[in-house]
């Protein structure tokens, strides 16, 4: 992945540790892909209701990226579709070694349709820069594809409805590492109620896939609790070591 010279690496580390004033990366904007998604949404709207609304992994098994994104965009499986501005599918390199998974879209994400675009997103960009990665080199998604009202915690039925979409994304990407950002993402991906403080600091396996999973604090939490940034930096170093060990 390459962090460049030692001077450049140190500069990135200081940017992360200072954590503020980091300019967000410009995200890719593909009008062609958006148009194709709109076409697929129209096709899905005309499908038999039992097929279009069937929950579970079998409903999305075998879907390619374009059709999967359209399915998410048209989803009405839970009540979150009534309050969302738009779905937040995910963004980044679909062949990435690194898959970053957060909790759910916030207000900025709901408005822009991109994950991690607010202040937490700026900090996440800085965290990636600190280890020599650009935002566009990784893939970023959330446990939920729609924003819960008032940014409340996801409800169990919402997680059940959204999980097949994320599982299919993981199947398509086949990442070398999953970085779970925050308590809710980590606990749901690992099927545990263990506190995030006890989950971080070691390498887990994502279910039966064999994919290494490392849990760390959510960037929004780090903005509120800056003293925990040192621990998050340790988690990032552990993640780098895990990826490098696979090379």
Query: Residue 18 domain-assigned?
Result: yes
Question: Which position has the higher pLDDT, 29 or 62?
Answer: 62
Q: Categorize the per-residue pLDDT at 214 as very low, low, confident or very high, splitting at 50, 70 and 90.
A: very high
Domain membership of residue 132 (yes or no) is yes
pLDDT at 30: 41
Residues 174 and 124: their CA atoms lie apart, in Å, by 22
Q: Name the percent of the chain lying above pLDDT 70.
A: 77
Q: Does residue 122 carry a pLDDT above 90?
A: yes
pLDDT of 113 higher than 60? yes
Mean pLDDT of the chain: 85
The residue segments making up the domain with residue 38 are: 6-245
- Look at residue 1 and tell me if it is in a domain: no
Asked whether the predicted pLDDT for residue 177 surpasses 50, the reply is: yes
- CA 131 – CA 116 distance, rounded (Å): 18
How confident is the model at residue 247, as a pLDDT? 82
Q: Is 148 exposed, middle or buried (0-12, 13-18, 19+ CB in 10 A)?
A: buried
Q: Which two tokens stand for residue 244?
A: 């490098």
Q: Residue 140 to residues 4, 7, 40, 54, 235: CA-CA distances in angstroms?
A: 23, 28, 23, 26, 17
In a domain, 76, yes or no: yes
| CATH number for 74 | 3.40.470.10
Q: Name the band, by pLDDT with cuts 50, 70 and 90, for residue 39.
A: low
Q: For residue 32, what are the contacts with CB-CB under 8 A and spacing of at least 6?
A: none
- Round to whole Å and give the CA distance between 174 and 72: 20
Which of the 8 DSSP states describes residue 213?
E
Domains in the chain, number: 1
Q: Which residue has the tokens 């030692």?
A: 6
User: What Å distances lie between residue 60 and 52, 100, 138, 164, 169, CA to CA?
Assistant: 10, 21, 23, 7, 10
Is 197:97 a contact under the CB 8 Å cutoff?
no
Better pLDDT: 91 or 39:
91
Counting residues of the chain whose pLDDT is more than 90, the rounded percentage is: 75
Is the pLDDT assigned to residue 26 strictly greater than 80?
no
């Amino acid at each position: 992945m390459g962090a460049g010279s030692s001077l450049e690496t140190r500069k990135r580390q200081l940017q992360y540790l200072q954590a503020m004033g980091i300019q967000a990366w410009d995200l890719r904007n593909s009008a062609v892909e958006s148009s194709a998604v709109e076409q697929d949404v129209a096709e899905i709207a005309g499908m038999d209701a039992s097929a279009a609304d069937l929950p579970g992994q079998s409903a999305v098994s075998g879907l390619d990226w374009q059709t999967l994104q359209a399915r998410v965009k048209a989803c009405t499986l839970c009540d979150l579709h009534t309050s969302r501005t738009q779905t937040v599918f995910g963004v980044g390199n679909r062949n990435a070694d690194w898959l970053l998974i957060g909790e759910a879209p916030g207000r900025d994400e709901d408005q822009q349709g991109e994950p991690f675009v607010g202040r937490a997103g700026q900090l996440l960009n800085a965290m990636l820069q600190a280890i020599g990665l650009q935002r566009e080199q990784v893939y970023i998604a959330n446990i939920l594809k729609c924003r819960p009202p008032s940014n409340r915690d996801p409800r169990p039925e919402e997680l059940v409805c959204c999980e097949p979409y994320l599982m299919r994304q993981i199947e398509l990407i086949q990442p070398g590492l999953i970085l779970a950002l925050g308590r809710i993402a980590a606990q749901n991906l690992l099927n545990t109620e263990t506190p995030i403080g006890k989950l971080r600091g070691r390498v887990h396996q994502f279910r039966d896939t064999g994919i290494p999973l490392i849990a760390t604090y959510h960037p929004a939490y780090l903005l509120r609790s800056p003293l925990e940034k040192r621990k998050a930096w340790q988690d990032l170093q552990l993640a780098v070591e895990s990826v490098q060990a696979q090379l």
